[in-house]
Structure 1
Amino acid sequence: MSRRILIVQGHPDPAGSHFCHALADAYRVGAERGGHAVDCVEVAMLDFPLLRTKEDFEHGVAPPVIAAVQARMAAADHLVFLYPLWMGDMPAVLKGFLEQCLRPGFAFGPQQPDGNRQGGGLRGKSAHVVVTMGMPALIYRWYFGAHSLRSFRSNILRFAGIAPVRSSLVGRVEALKPEARGKWLARMAELGAGAR
């Protein structure tokens, strides 16, 4: 079954040419070969302000560039997020983008008088998160508990109603030999073909 896929490239370097970009390209090519419609967002190429107040987050209007991405996200069946691990978390520009994009009224409901917030604004979509890092992926997963990935999956994506949320951790990215890189690119193409 053909799906609409939105790839969100979260690498902060607008020059591209990083392994994150190669992984995204491989996923896109695989998805297109699999008959899926693919759209891509390069977060580093977007010009948007950071949110600085709760009032703006709760009641502000998304900037036009963000509203356009929200429309593309709403039209997608499957979301793919790629980013490098920076200081144990996603890069600041991706975090700022997500804060702007996944606002109340889009990804979440408004805050209730008791302080709780209803999720599920993006119900019916699935996602795949791809994280590259310098350390071995096993160390990140088992010693550090993959804390930033777990938070992104559970506190943001799943709360917004996105399920299932799969993930791929690409460790020791700077030291990968060509054969290992090739295997990862082939794996991304396979995931893209299956829209997983």
Structure 2
Amino acid sequence: MGKRIAVIVGHPDPDDNRYGRVLARTYAEAARRAGHEAREIDVGRLDFPLLRTRAEWNAPGALPDSLRAAQQDIGWADHLAIFFPLWMGTVPALLKGFFEQVLRPGFAIAATDDDARYHRLLAGKSARVVVTMGMAAPIYRWYFGAGGVRGLERNILAFCGIAPIRTTMIGMIANRNDSARKRALDRIRRYGTEGR
């Protein structure tokens, strides 16, 4: 039996030729061919405000209408496949703003009686994070410690209960030749086929 997969395209630029968008499409198409259900959430084409206060984040029923379908798709999914480019060492601001909006209390987390801990309401879901970047991936991972990506994994996804979280970093995007791009696409296609 196939998985239910939400493919989150986190590139703010809506240009379909962006390599990260090509990777996301490749993953979704391979997942569908293998018998999984895949729904795509294109963050770069959504219009929503950024949150500015804790009160806005906690407000019941305050999710913008433009994000209701995206939140429903995340709730429906067994697995999230998240694709984004590394910008200034971390997640693009638009994608971070998207997660702040959709992963609200009552949907992704719930306060416990002592208010110091939270129930993780998205437990049981897994994730694949695919990050493209201009630098070599080992330099980002080992020299810079991959802090921006680890923040997404630990402080957003795992905080909501998502596990396991697997990460794929694809570096040197501007300098990749056709053979290297094909190898990366083949790897992403395999992940989509396997639903992981």
| 2:107 match | 106
- Structure 2: runs of 5+ lacking an equivalent: none
> 1:149 is matched with which residue?
149
Q: Counterpart amino acid of 2:159?
A: F
Q: Does 1:84 align with 2:85?
A: yes
Query: For 1:36 and 1:50, how far apart are their aligned partners in 2?
Result: 32
Work out whether residues 125 and 161 of structure 2, in 8 Å CA contact, stay in contact via their aligned partners in 1.
yes
The aligned counterpart of 2:65 is: 64
Contact 1:3 / 1:195 at 8 angstroms: preserved in 2?
A: yes
Q: What is the percentage of aligned positions where both structures have the same residue?
A: 46
Report the AA paired with residue 57 of structure 1: W
Amino acid at match of 1:68: A
Q: Which residue of 1 aligns with 2:10?
A: 10
The AA in structure 2 aligned to 1:177 is N
Work out the CA distance in 1 between the residues paired with 2:16 and 2:117.
37
Instruction: Name the CA distance, whole Å, in 2 between partners of 1:189 and 1:159.
Output: 28
1:64 deviation in Å?
1.1
C-alpha deviation, 1:16, in angstroms: 2.3
Within-5 A mapping of 1:42-57: 42-57=42-57
User: Which AA in structure 2 matches 1:136?
Assistant: A
Residue in 2 aligned with 1:121?
121
RMSD: 1.2
Structure 1 letter corresponding to 2:192 = G
Aligned positions of 1:29-48 closer than 5 A: 29-48=29-48
1:162 aligned partner: 162
> For residue 74 of structure 2, what is the amino acid of its counterpart?
M
**Cα displacement (A) at 1:112:** 5.6
Distance in 1 (CA, whole Å) between partners of 2:113 and 2:50 is 24
User: How many aligned positions are there?
Assistant: 195
CA contact (8 A) 1:58 1:110 kept: no
Distance 2:97 2:112 in 1: 20
Taking the aligned partners of 2:37 and 2:100, their CA distance within structure 1 comes to 26
Alpha-carbon shift at residue 176 of structure 1 (Å): 0.5
User: Equivalents in 2 of 1:87, 1:6: separation in Å?
Assistant: 26
Moved over 2 A (4+): 110-114
Change (3 A) 1:156 1:112: farther
Are 1:171 and 2:171 an aligned pair? yes
Q: Could you tell me which amino acid in structure 1 is paired with residue 94 of structure 2?
A: V
TM-score with structure 2 setting the length: 0.96
Alpha carbons 2:78, 2:124 under 8 Å: kept: yes
Can you give the 5+ residue segments of structure 1 that lack an aligned partner in the other structure? Answer: none
- 1:112-151 deviation per Cα after TM superposition (whole angstroms, max 9, x unaligned): 655x231411111110000000000000000011101111
The aligned counterpart of 1:194 is 194
Secondary structure of 2:166's aligned partner: strand
